[in-house]
């Protein structure tokens, strides 16, 4: 049985004071639900504050990107060594980073390796754009993202990886992907490559989240799908609705 994992991606939202307020609003209710893993992926500026607030909490802390080197002349970047003092998870290869910040399958891959070798759980994002979806390229695109994103990784690390399937056209649009379709895409373009790369055992152990317009009302439809082990949540993770998503995952 894979333990469900629901992560909130706060993106570029919340000052430190606002982050503190949000954690205070959500923390107690989320901590009551221990059967799933819940994570707040916060902006770097709030990392120190949020991680101190959640030091003795069941809620995990994550970031939204990491550099692949431990240190060096990389102005403006944050290394896995710096992150691991505060956070256990890192979102890697989010479509917004791929679209706006030049992230490629190859840079995703070296960031995933950097996370794993520094004891950080990578949440590697894959997903097709609207154009790719309309051109029926979905399975090919995701299979390629999986293959390159997960190259040169040993089986001893692979089970820790979390994959987030986020169709780009479903992010922040309110147009959530149909749960049965998402399940089918995950089976063919995520579980199957996982099996081809790492073998049956790893493919059945790695957790796969769905992301894209998940909210308190539709969450249960995703979690009832056999291949979906949680959610990566944007907008709704900044609201009390996030608790409803976590409750749905626990059922
Ligand atoms: P929304 O939940 O706002 O659609 O965002 C999804 C997302 O990008 C999570 O990483």
Per-residue pLDDT of the chain (251 residues; tens, 9 = 90+): 899 999 999 999 999 999 999 999 999 999 999 999 999 999 999 999 999 999 999 999 999 999 999 999 999 999 999 999 999 999 999 999 999 999 999 999 999 999 999 999 999 999 999 999 999 999 999 999 999 999 999 999 999 999 999 999 999 999 999 999 999 999 999 999 999 999 999 999 999 999 999 999 999 999 999 999 999 999 999 999 999 999 999 98
Pairwise CA distance, residues 238 & 27, whole Å: 12
Q: Contact 116/162 with Cβ under 8 angstroms? A: no
Cα 235 to ligand 1 centre (Å): 6
> Does residue 172 have its Cβ closer than 6 Å to ligand 1?
yes
* Token reading at 185: 């895409």
- Collapse the DSSP code of 220 into the 3-class scheme (helix H, G, I; strand E, B; otherwise coil) and give the result: helix
Identify which of 91, 162, 214, 239 to mutate to test ligand 1's pocket (most ligand atoms within 8 A of the CB): 214
Helix, strand or coil, per DSSP, at residue 190? helix
Helix (H, G, I), strand (E, B), or coil: what is residue 91? strand
User: Would residue 166 show up in a list of annotated catalytic residues for this protein?
Assistant: yes
Residues in the chain: 251
Q: How far is the C-alpha of 159 from the C-alpha of 207, rounded, in Å?
A: 8
Residues 94, 96, 128, 132: which is the catalytic one? 94
Q: How far is the CA of 156 from the centre of ligand 1 (A)?
A: 30
Element holding 205 (H helix, E strand): helix 200-205
Residue 215 Cβ contacting ligand 1 at under 6 Å? no
Structural domains in the chain, CATH included, are 5-250 (3.20.20.70)
């Amino acid at each position: 049985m894979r333990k469900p994992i629901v992560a909130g991606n706060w993106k570029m939202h919340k000052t430190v004071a606002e982050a503190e307020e949000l954690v205070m609003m959500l923390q107690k209710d989320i901590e009551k639900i221990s059967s799933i893993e819940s994570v707040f992926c916060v902006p770097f500026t709030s990392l120190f504050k949020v991680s101190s607030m959640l030091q003795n909490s069941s809620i995990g802390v994550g970031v939204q990107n990491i550099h692949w080197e431990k240190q060096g002349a990389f102005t403006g970047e944050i290394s896995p060594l710096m992150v691991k003092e505060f956070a256990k998870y890192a979102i890697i290869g989010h479509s917004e980073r791929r679209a706006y910040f030049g992230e490629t399958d190859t840079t995703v891959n070296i960031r995933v390796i950097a996370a794993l070798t520094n004891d950080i759980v990578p949440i590697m994002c894959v997903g097709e754009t609207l154009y790719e979806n309309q051109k029926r390229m979905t399975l090919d695109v995701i299979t390629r993202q999986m293959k390159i994103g997960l190259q040169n990784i040993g089986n001893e690390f692979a089970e820790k990886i979390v994959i987030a399937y986020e169709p780009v056209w479903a992010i922040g649009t309110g147009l959530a992907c149909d749960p049965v379709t998402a399940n089918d895409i995950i089976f063919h373009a995520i579980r199957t490559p996982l099996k081809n790369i790492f073998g049956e055992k790893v493919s059945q152990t790695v957790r796969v989240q769905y992301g894209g317009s998940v909210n308190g009302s539709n969450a249960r439809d995703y979690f009832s799908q056999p291949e979906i082990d949680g959610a990566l949540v944007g907008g709704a993770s900044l609201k009390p609705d996030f608790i409803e998503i976590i409750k749905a995952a626990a059922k």
